[in-house]
Structure 1
Amino acid sequence: MTLTLMVTLSIVSYSKNKWWAFKQMQLLPPELAKITGCEFVKVLGTGSGFGFSLWPDFNTYALLLKWKDEEATENFFGSSKIFSQVHSRSESVETYYLQSLGAHGSWYGKNPFPEKGKYTGGEIAVITRARININKLPRFWQFVPKASKSIQNANGLIYTKGIGEWPLIEQATFSIWENEQAMKNYAYADIHKEIIGKVKKENWYKEELFSRFNVIKRLSHS
């Protein structure tokens, strides 16, 4: 199947070179943006535990990239010096190949995933991202443990990891579900609905994005 657009999210784990890995959050984005066919770039830190987290995981980072086509994607992972360097310094890299099913909201003023593919059945991935209003931070973090516990216990959840650019004020989650119905069951569960209701009523977020994807494949780079 040829995809005109593809999104990849790579989870990169380090047992050594942790200071080098941390510096790449600033150094890598401008280099990645120069790559032919790369249309959206985020180098993200991750949180420990489930969902949003105050505590960074300095062993793990995420590369979120959007590509013009499949050829550009394979060129990056197959032969680029940038990925080769990341791979060689890491302990492991696992990449999820995703196809956008559409998104609403924005990421620094733009929707990076407006393309609306058709859900093909099977695993579905979700990226939620929020920039929190400064004066709402205490209220937001008051409810984080409750939200994290609810997703940890959710039926049909395969994987989740907190990702983000700035601790405390810019938070995101990446999650994979067995199917669309499992994802919807969690989204409409009472605890999740309660928290979303407070988000809207109390204006916790300055900006937010909700995006869904078909999971095309998952590749562990050897």
Structure 2
Amino acid sequence: MICTLTIVRYPRWLGWAGLLSMALFRLPLLSGKDKGFSKLMGCGKNGTFSKMPDWRQWAVLHTRTSTPSFITAWWRFFRCKVWQLELEPIEGHGSWNGKTVFGALQRETGYEGPVAVLTRATIRLSALKRFWQHVQGVSDVMQQAEGFVTSVGIGEVPWIRQATFSIWESKAAMKAFAYRMREHAAVVTATRKEKWYSEDLFVRFRIHSSTGGL
């Protein structure tokens, strides 16, 4: 399976077009034989889970073989900056809206090269305060971690359904951050012990291509 993640940035004062697109893009993504899985999402301002939405930046994730022409024409018309990645899910666990949207994945493979990671969660209302107390600290550490390339905060619902997409120079570098950095390890432990999430998903991807930029 190959999926496409597109991050789009609208020119100043045109963020309203991005918000409108979240409604208009549903039809072309659900039409035709090649429907697959798709999600329309907003972006946060801090490159990770974020309380503050970035009204100029939006994301589209889908497993179709190509992005519908209406969507690409919309981005051209509004002169958006477009960063598009073709990704192969290789490792992971969890679900998205109760479904294994990337198929049955192994938890580990022998792949050790550059890796992209999607961490997505639905946060329990009772755990919102605890969750957001730890976000900034983990984000600061990640930005300084060895082997970290970049990250984008994306999500379906502000505050509650959040995700971080990050890119690392190697799987080893990503694991060093995830399991050895004290701040992140402490949050992972608290997450499991206090059951912050009603649903979560963790997927690693092999990056097949990356075009454009923000």
Question: TM-score scaled by structure 2?
Answer: 0.91
Which residue does the alignment assign to 1:145? 136
* C-alpha distance in structure 2 between counterparts of 1:35 and 1:174, whole Å: 28
Which residue does the alignment assign to 1:13? 9
Q: Report if the CA contact (8 A) 1:50-1:151 is conserved.
A: no
Residue 29 (structure 1) shift = 2.2
Which residue does the alignment assign to 1:186? 177
Letter in 2 for 1:109: G
Structure 2: gaps of 5 or more residues: none
* C-alpha distance in structure 2 between counterparts of 1:215 and 1:121, whole Å: 12
Q: Between the two proteins, what is the percent identity of the paired residues?
A: 36
What SS is found at the alignment partner of 2:97?
Answer: coil
Residue 85 (structure 1) shift = 1.6
Residue 38 (structure 1) shift = 3.5
Counterpart pick for 1:36 among 30, 33, 36: 33
Could you say if the C-alpha distance between residues 135 and 116 of structure 1 is closer, same or farther in structure 2, counting changes exceeding 3 Å?
closer
Counterpart pick for 2:145 among 151, 154, 173: 154
The count of corresponding residues between Structure 1 and Structure 2 is 209
What SS is found at the alignment partner of 2:102?
Answer: coil
Q: Report if the CA contact (8 A) 1:96-1:216 is conserved.
A: yes
* C-alpha distance in structure 2 between counterparts of 1:62 and 1:129, whole Å: 14
Residue 116 (structure 1) shift = 4.0
* C-alpha distance in structure 2 between counterparts of 1:93 and 1:219, whole Å: 8
Q: Report if the CA contact (8 A) 1:10-1:93 is conserved.
A: yes
Q: Does 1:172 align with 2:163?
A: yes
Deviation larger for 28-37 or 101-110:
28-37
Q: Does 1:198 align with 2:190?
A: yes
Structure 1: gaps of 5 or more residues: none
* C-alpha distance in structure 2 between counterparts of 1:9 and 1:119, whole Å: 24
What SS is found at the alignment partner of 2:36?
Answer: strand
Question: TM-score scaled by structure 1?
Answer: 0.88
Could you say if the C-alpha distance between residues 47 and 7 of structure 1 is closer, same or farther in structure 2, counting changes exceeding 3 Å?
same
What SS is found at the alignment partner of 1:188?
Answer: helix
Residue 46 (structure 1) shift = 0.3
Aligned-residue Cα RMSD (Å) equals 1.8
Residue 156 (structure 1) shift = 0.7
What SS is found at the alignment partner of 1:39?
Answer: coil
* C-alpha distance in structure 2 between counterparts of 1:45 and 1:106, whole Å: 20
* C-alpha distance in structure 2 between counterparts of 1:21 and 1:165, whole Å: 14
Which residue does the alignment assign to 1:85? 74
* C-alpha distance in structure 1 between counterparts of 2:79 and 2:42, whole Å: 14
Letter in 1 for 2:39: K
Counterpart pick for 1:25 among 19, 22, 26: 22
Counterpart pick for 1:209 among 196, 201, 207: 201
